[in-house]
Structure 1
Amino acid sequence: MAVVTPGLLQALFVGLHSDYKRGLENAPSQWQEVATLIPSAAASNVYSWLGQFPRLREWLGPRVLKDMQLHSYSIDNKLFEATVGIPRTTVEDDSAGVYRPMFEEMGRATGTHPDELIFDLLAAGFSTACYDGKNFFDVEHPVYPNVDGTGVAEAVSNMDVPATNAGPTWYLLDTSRSIKPLIFQERTKAELVSKTDPTNSDHVFNHDEYVHGVRYRCNAGFGFWQMAYASKQPLDAIHYGAARAAMRGMKADGGRPLAITPNILVVPPGLEGQALKLLAKDESGGNPWANSAKVLVCPWLT
């Protein structure tokens, strides 16, 4: 039986924190491929500039100041946690090592947490509003004929869902710009904190248990809907081509082409084979879509 001393606890939890860090660093992550990291310094961020694609004009006379269109789209930071308790008796009995895999897994879960937020939100795009008040994937996104956002809006679609026999969803994205189709907003970095002193922690004193927990403030939101297209049609050359054509034809208010360039095809694991075959290089050169996008197989999309 070990004598529980501050030195023993310090050595033990340095090791457990190292396990957590190893899991965090080795966690597989894909969210950076489809989302832009935006730091946050408050309870929420307001993205009033969404909806405006900047453009240059010939400078004739004084500069023309254009106010950002106010869409009042905001992302509220949420607080997340994960907690592990280790009984003091386990430390006394030299058995705390059995918790090492759990701490490494907690680090891995922390590392993949942004992925869960981002891809859960992407999947919820059919029922979750973006900056223009419409669902992120919708058939009625308003695009106005005048540059200042006035006139009778045209309804523009960035989705293709059949009335019957809808299949699994696949997504075509343009991630080539500084703002990607999704936003990962981070208020604080994830941190692992521990309570091990019974004189300073009521929980340790009352429960005879050392507590370790992760704290993370962040959230996910949508960027420009014009840079994403979702389809529940079969993943074949016809529907893939139609999705690309729809995205490349996207225009800003006033009719200016946005030069959208789809470069990532996001699919659930069940569509991996079809996606790779669709975009594979053909020795005969007969596949017009060969290497036209990168295939991203996402385990969070089921």
Structure 2
Amino acid sequence: MILNRENLSALSRTLKALVFEAKEGYTPLWPKLALEVQSNGRANYYAWMENMPTMSLWEGERQVQNLTAETFAITNADWEATFAVSRTDAEDDQMDLIRITALQYARRWAEHDDLLIADLLRKGFQQKGYDGRPFFGSHTVGKRTFQNASNAPLTREAFRQALSQMRQLTDARGYPLGFFLQKPIYLVVGPGLESTAYEIVGVPTLPLGGANPDYGKAEILVSPWLVEEYETYWFLVDGSQAIRPFVLQRRSRPEWVAKDDPENSDEVFKRNVLIYGVYERKAAGYLFWQLAYGSTGTGTGA
């Protein structure tokens, strides 16, 4: 390939189409756990609901039920992913090698949204939610205190106890929230706990025989990022509501960037490589702890 403007432009278009199509072909986990919203500024501001709206008998004027006045911000960040193509590979028409590089790059880019949400899960025992408390921890609602966290290892009893705890949540008035009562409920684990999760909710019969009363109570989601120091972590998420425990907000559509002109690109001059990449603005953050339960799995029992 002669590296003139016409051929380089064609190569850039080809790689862009390949990368964007590969990304669209990836099936992400995050839509089951997070709410996607569009952002029109540097940050989005969210108000939390201390009391969920309820129906009431209409006597006189309507009873307007508002969000609380408190808000919290989630600030967008700049993200980029960049890869290099050897100039000699392009000149020698090594398109199979270039294609493999672009596809691997596209895969990592496609996984990034899942990684952002997995990071919220992993760090939720330290990072704070809207109420100033660790997202997975102890929360005061009205005169009551609720826990959406523990250190119990994943067992059948721990699963049942977690489900029971989350089903008892109320708002500040004592009105039951009714969460974790309808499907889908997601049991999020790493590869190391997949078989344990499957024994609890994935098979119709118990190991020693008889019907499994927990069969189908949750859908198993395996996150590849719950490994090493996080391999014992497990989570429950109520996916039946219009809201989610996490948010993925997007400020801009992904932009394709090419630095491949031998006459103007410093990278071509210094390193003999053609540079391609994407740029986007987005952020992930915590919304409603009432829709998620987490355990580090580091304890000795439920």
The answer to whether TM tops 0.5 is: yes
Correspondence 1:122 to 2:44: no
Aligned partner (choices 270, 289, 295) of residue 192 of structure 2: 270
Counterpart in the other structure of 2:205: 282
Could you tell me whether the CA contact under 8 Å between 2:136 and 2:148 is conserved in 1?
yes
Aligned partner (choices 204, 221, 225) of residue 300 of structure 1: 225
3-state SS, counterpart of residue 260 of structure 1:
coil
Task: Find the aligned partners of 2:195 and 2:68 in 1 and give their Cα distance.
Answer: 43
1:218-260 Cα deviation digits (max 9, x unpaired): xxxxxxxxxxxxxxx1222211111111011111111001111
Letter in 1 for 2:148: N
3-state SS, counterpart of residue 251 of structure 1:
coil
Correspondence 1:142 to 2:140: yes
Task: Find the aligned partners of 1:3 and 1:270 in 2 and give their Cα distance.
Answer: 50
Across the two proteins, how many residue pairs are aligned to each other? 221
Aligned partner (choices 238, 241, 258) of residue 160 of structure 2: 241
Correspondence 1:254 to 2:244: no
Counterpart in the other structure of 2:149: 159
Could you tell me whether the CA contact under 8 Å between 1:28 and 1:112 is conserved in 2?
no
3-state SS, counterpart of residue 211 of structure 2:
coil
Could you tell me whether the CA contact under 8 Å between 1:27 and 1:111 is conserved in 2?
yes
Counterpart in the other structure of 1:133: 132
Letter in 2 for 1:273: S
Which shows bigger deviation, 89-98 or 270-279?
89-98
Task: Find the aligned partners of 2:42 and 2:82 in 1 and give their Cα distance.
Answer: 23
1:58-77 Cα deviation digits (max 9, x unpaired): 11111123332123221111
Task: Find the aligned partners of 1:43 and 1:52 in 2 and give their Cα distance.
Answer: 29
Could you tell me whether the CA contact under 8 Å between 2:89 and 2:98 is conserved in 1?
no
Matches within 5 A, 1:172-183: none
Counterpart in the other structure of 1:106: 105
Letter in 2 for 1:133: G
Could you tell me whether the CA contact under 8 Å between 1:16 and 1:103 is conserved in 2?
yes
1:161-185 Cα deviation digits (max 9, x unpaired): 2xxxxxxxxxxxxxxxxxxxxxxxx
3-state SS, counterpart of residue 126 of structure 1:
coil
Matches within 5 A, 1:42-121: 42-95=41-94, 97-121=96-120
| Structure 1 portions without partners, runs of 5+ | 145-152, 162-232
3-state SS, counterpart of residue 98 of structure 1:
helix
1:9 Cα deviation after fit: 1.6
Counterpart in the other structure of 1:191: none
Could you tell me whether the CA contact under 8 Å between 2:47 and 2:67 is conserved in 1?
yes
1:114-145 Cα deviation digits (max 9, x unpaired): 10000111111100111111111112x0110x
Task: Find the aligned partners of 1:113 and 1:266 in 2 and give their Cα distance.
Answer: 17
1:43 Cα deviation after fit: 1.0
Could you say which structure has the greater relative contact order, defined with CA pairs below 8 angstroms and 6 or more residues apart? 2
Task: Find the aligned partners of 2:188 and 2:69 in 1 and give their Cα distance.
Answer: 31
Could you tell me whether the CA contact under 8 Å between 2:125 and 2:135 is conserved in 1?
yes
- Could you say if the C-alpha distance between residues 42 and 50 of structure 1 is closer, same or farther in structure 2, counting changes exceeding 3 Å? farther
1:7 Cα deviation after fit: 2.4
Give the TM-score of the pair, scaled to structure 2: 0.68
Correspondence 1:32 to 2:31: yes
Aligned partner (choices 216, 227, 243) of residue 291 of structure 1: 216
Give the TM-score of the pair, scaled to structure 1: 0.68
Task: Find the aligned partners of 1:259 and 1:115 in 2 and give their Cα distance.
Answer: 27
1:290 Cα deviation after fit: 1.2
1:261 Cα deviation after fit: 1.7
| Structure 2 portions without partners, runs of 5+ | 228-302
3-state SS, counterpart of residue 62 of structure 1:
coil
Aligned Cα root-mean-square deviation (Å)? 2.0
- Could you say if the C-alpha distance between residues 301 and 71 of structure 1 is closer, same or farther in structure 2, counting changes exceeding 3 Å? farther
Percent identity over the alignment is 31
